[in-house]
Amino acid sequence: MRIGVCPGSFDPVTNGHVDIFSRASKMFDLVIAAVFHNPNKKPLFTMEERVEMLNLATKDITNIKVDSFSGLLYDYVLQQNSNFIVRGLRALSDFEYEFQRALLIKKIVPEIETIFMMTSNEYSFVSSSSIKELAKFGGPITGLVPECLEEKITKRIREKS
């Protein structure tokens, strides 16, 4: 079975993330959307909330599993019996950062391959941080996040502001 792991903080999940999951689901037998606990970040949503939101946002993708993890990505990937990490890229700056990370993982665990997927044009400017900033100041996030989560995301961002 070919398994692709899509790691990220997903705080919050965007339509760009869902687009990558959907496209990856055509390449792999199973896609794992893995919420990463990053101790260097203060997330807007708890790990459990992000997992729940990803489950709602990806309910139409039949071969996806949502999970969470902390620790080293390559350990998690191997624990999932996978050799593939899927990374979505929006811009050249994303590539530079992700390329260095991929090379480091490749050095440590040569059998793991990192697959880079360019975002669809319509989501190239969408990031979780831009969604938070837009909603914080009352801007519309319609079409940028899954419709089923728009109200929850807007409410939480405004509560925290």
Packed helices 150-160 and 128-136: angle between N→C axes, nearest 10 degrees: 70
pLDDT in tens, 6-24: 999 999 999 999 999 999 9
Instruction: Count Cβ atoms below 10 Å from residue 118 Cβ, excluding itself.
Output: 14
Strand (E) or helix (H) holding 3: strand 3-8
pTM to 2 decimals? 0.93
36 is in an annotated binding site: no
C-beta separation of 18 from 146 below 8 A: yes
Q: How does pLDDT run along the chain (161 residues), one tens digit per residue?
A: 999 999 999 999 999 999 999 999 999 999 999 999 888 878 999 999 999 999 999 999 999 999 999 999 999 999 999 999 999 998 777 888 899 999 999 999 999 999 999 999 999 889 999 999 999 898 999 999 999 999 999 999 888 87
90 is in an annotated binding site: yes
**Which homologous superfamily is 3-125 in?**
HUPs (3.40.50.620)
41 is in an annotated binding site: yes
Q: Which residues are catalytic?
A: 17, 41, 90, 128
